[in-house]
Amino acid sequence: MRISEHPILKFKRGKEIKFSYEGRELSGHEGETIAAALHAAGVKVLSRSAVLHRPRGFFCAIGTCSSCLMVVDSVPNVRVCITKLREGMVVAEQLGRGSLA
Amino acid sequence: MKTVDICVIGGGPAGLNAALAAAQGGASVLLLDDADYLGGQLVKQTHMFFGSEKQQAGTRGIDIASTLVQAVQSIPAIDVWLETTALGLYDDSVLTVEQQGRYRKVKAKRFIVATGASEKMLAFKGNDLPGVYGAGAVQTLMNVFGVRPGQRVLMVGAGNIGLIVSYQLLQAGVKVEAIVEGSPQIGGYLVHASKIRRAGVPILTSHTILEAYGENAVEGAVICELNRAWQIIPNTARRLAVDVICLAVGLSPLSDLLWQADCRMLYTSELGGHVAWRDENLRTSQPHIYIAGDVAGIEEASSAMVEGAVAGYAAAKDIGLAPMDVEQRLLVALEQLKELRSGPVGEKIRLGIAEVQSVRGDIDGRHT
């Protein structure tokens, strides 16, 4: 899913870092958002809706629509479309409104 | 509490120019943005801008952004706070913000709200499936992070955003299966539409999306034809195998802060929704609050930049700090704005602004 060649843009990707998603080890790049790293790894479902548990992905990617809320390092309701990926992060799908453990 | 002459909320094209103009007007400036970079949506625009040379026509949005950001960073009178979200704007001219977990206050003589816009949603079955993305989100993913949103895209909306993002998708090596547009005409500039058509992408006018389907993410879309009354023509529904549905169906002004600050708000469809009443210098019904850019009415980056300059000069002049030439600079910016909106393309905006200004902004309509 990553673009390697582009007629106009050059992507300066940060160093590769590892994180965990639903128990799987994935890698992304320093400087990118959690949502971008997940998308590059083919993960589109980020959470499940509160009542019908329908799958949810991101929509706006600028932190305004709240469609991308995930549990990151045990903290629920993290807007992964604007939160930067860090080495060793533990990222999990959020069910509904989320709760503090 | 941070004290400053002029606080600009939002570091996109309007906010950057507002900060520059306010500083040229002799003011100390604080520029805030909730993102960790300046430039707003400009940093995602790989196409060259139209308009006149004064608004950097012929230059790509990404390059305009870096020029403006460098200018802002080179002026000591402008302080920049990133990752800072404006929370509330109060009558005593205090703004509260959240900054990386900290709660802070800013006191300014004038505020310029340049918060921009957010993407509109469209009602159709399955529109909550992952893979249904706003056009801005697609731009962020591919132009900022270099990640393709998917393999095959259905674009909904043939206004300038739909056309430009379709072209950007092609540049990123993604197939655009079709662009559907409810109206019988293409809304965007024909030069963009021609580029897309030459690349083999069909632009289906009088068509809309009925449904997105898929188990856990978009696997396809059902589209159909519309008649002139925007009603579905029976037996025209057909499936398109796509994994991304990109919505480019317009923007809404991000005006929450203006509502909260009790500015007089008016619904003006030509400007994209609820906007604040403003005078010709972009001052709202709250004398300490100015607006600029998409929050003042959905338009283009070129006019957002000039609006930023108008608000910046006017706010500086207003607090009496202004050096001699600010009046002149303000007049030049106002003239540029008029020029930008003079053609047939600007008609809608002219109507919208006239409608807003046909009412009084001060006493009537505001609760006492």
CATH of the domain at A76: 3.10.20.440
Quote the CA–CA distance of A100 and B97 in Å, as a whole number. 25
Q: Residue B341 pLDDT more than 50?
A: yes
CB-CB neighbors (< 8 A) of B132 in chain A: 57, 59
Would you call B105 helix, strand, or coil by DSSP? Answer: strand
Contact B58, B49 (CB under 8 A): yes
Report the residue of chain A nearest B139, measured CA to CA. A61
- Give the mutation candidate from B84, B121, B122, B147 for the A interface (greatest A CB count, under 10 A): B147
CATH code at position B38: 3.50.50.60
Q: Write the Ramachandran bin of A95: left for phi over 0, alpha for psi from -120 to 50, otherwise beta.
A: beta
- pLDDT above 90 covers a percentage of chain B that reads 86
**pLDDT above 70 for A38:** yes
Burial of B150 (0-12, 13-18, 19+ CB in 10 A): buried
B199 and B309 inside one domain: no
Average pLDDT of the residues of chain A: 94
Q: How does residue B368 score in pLDDT terms, banded at 50, 70 and 90?
A: very low
pLDDT at A101 over 80: no
Find the residue in B nearest to A40 (Cα): B147
Name which residue leads in pLDDT, B284 or B50: B284
pLDDT digits (tens, 9 = 90+) for B72-113: 999 999 999 999 999 999 999 999 999 988 999 999 999 999
Both B220 and B268 in a single domain?
A: no
What's the pLDDT band for B320 if we cut at 50, 70, 90?
Answer: confident
Question: Given B247, B282, B317, which residue is the final one in a domain?
Answer: B247
- Among the candidates B193, B212, B247, a domain finishes at B247
Q: Which of A90, A76, A18, A80 is nearest to B130 (CA)?
A: A80
> DSSP string covering A24-66, please?
EEEEEETTSBHHHHHHHTT----EE-TTT--EE--SSSSSSS-
Same domain? For B275 and B294 the reply is yes
In a domain, A82, yes or no: yes
CB pair distance less than 8 Å for A65 and B118: yes
How far does B87 lie from chain A, in Å, by closest CA?
14
Amino acid (1-letter code) at residue B187:
G
Nearest CA-CA distance, residue A77 and chain B, Å? 15
Regarding whether B137 and B97 lie in a shared domain, the answer is no
Co-location of B141 and B227 in the same domain: yes
B205 and B173 in a single domain? The answer is yes
pLDDT above 90 (res A98): no
Residues of B with CB under 8 A from a CB of A: 34-36, 46, 60, 62, 118-119, 121, 128-134, 136-137, 140-149, 171-173, 216-217, 254
Looking at the domain assignment, is residue B367 inside a domain? Answer: no
- When pLDDT is cut at 50, 70 and 90, the band that residue B322 belongs to is low
Let me know if residue A29 belongs to a domain.
yes
What A85-89 contacts at long range (C-beta under 8 Å, 24+ apart), as own/partner pairs, is A85/A17, A85/A19, A85/A28, A85/A29, A85/A30, A85/A32, A85/A33, A85/A34, A85/A36, A85/A37, A86/A17, A86/A19, A87/A17, A87/A18, A87/A19, A87/A30, A88/A17, A88/A18, A88/A19, A88/A20, A89/A19, A89/A20, A89/A34
Choose one of B224, B247, B270: the last residue of a domain: B247
CB atoms within 10 A of CB B205: 16
Q: Provide mean pLDDT across the span A44-62.
A: 95
Q: Given an 8 Å threshold on Cβ–Cβ distance, is A3 in contact with B142?
A: yes
- Answer yes or no: do B143 and A9 touch at CB < 8 A: yes
CB contact under 8 A, B128 and A49: yes
Q: To the nearest whole angstrom, how far is the Cα of B141 from the nearest Cα of chain A?
A: 6
pLDDT in tens, B102-127: 999 999 999 999 999 999 999 999 99
Residue B248 has pLDDT above 80, yes or no: yes
pLDDT confidence of residue B367? 40
B230 and B339 part of one domain = no
How large is the average pLDDT for residues B208-222? 98
Q: Within this chain, do residues B112 and B187 fall inside the same structural domain, yes or no?
A: no
Same domain, B49 and B150: no
Average pLDDT score over residue span B208-232: 97
Tell me whether residue A2 is in a domain. no
A55 touches B at CB < 8 Å: yes
Query: How confident is the model over B159-184, as a mean pLDDT?
Result: 96
Task: Return the pLDDT at B40.
Answer: 92
Total domain count, chain B: 2
Provide the domain count of chain A.
1
Interface residue A22 vs chain B (CB under 8 A): no
**Residues of chain A neighbouring B46 (CB-CB closer than 8 A):** 8-9
Q: Given a cut of 90, is residue B51 above it in pLDDT?
A: no
pLDDT of residue B366: 47
Instruction: Extract the tokens encoding B135.
Output: 């056009």
- Asked whether residue B288 is domain-assigned, the answer is yes
- By CB atoms closer than 10 A (0-12, 13-18, 19+), residue A97 is exposed
- Crossing angle for the helix pair B301-318 and B13-24, nearest 10 degrees? 30
Is the same domain home to B333 and B234? Answer: no
- Beta-carbon contacts of B351 under 8 Å, excluding residues fewer than 6 positions away, are B270
Mutation choice for A interface testing from B33, B43, B47, B141 by most A CBs within 10 A = B141
Distance CA B166, CA B151 (A): 13
Is B312 in contact with B6 (CB distance < 8 Å)? yes
Residue span of the structural domain in which B6 resides: 2-118+251-357
* Domain contains A6: no
Contacts of B216 in chain A (CB under 8 A): 44-45, 55
Within a domain: A37: yes
CB nearest A60 (choices: B137, B146, B172)? B137
- Domain region containing A88: 16-95
Across A35-46, average pLDDT: 97
| pTM (2 d.p.) | 0.91
B364 assigned to some structural domain: no
Q: What is the pLDDT of residues B23-46, one digit of tens each?
A: 999 999 999 999 999 999 988 888
**CA pair distance B266, B357, nearest whole angstrom:** 10
d(CA A59, CA B237): 25
Contact B132 A57 (CB under 8 A): yes
The reply to whether B194 and B181 lie within a common domain is: yes
**DSSP alpha helices (H): ranges in chain B?**
13-24, 61-73, 135-139, 160-171, 190-198, 256-260, 301-318, 326-340, 347-357
Are B78 and B167 found together in one domain?
A: no
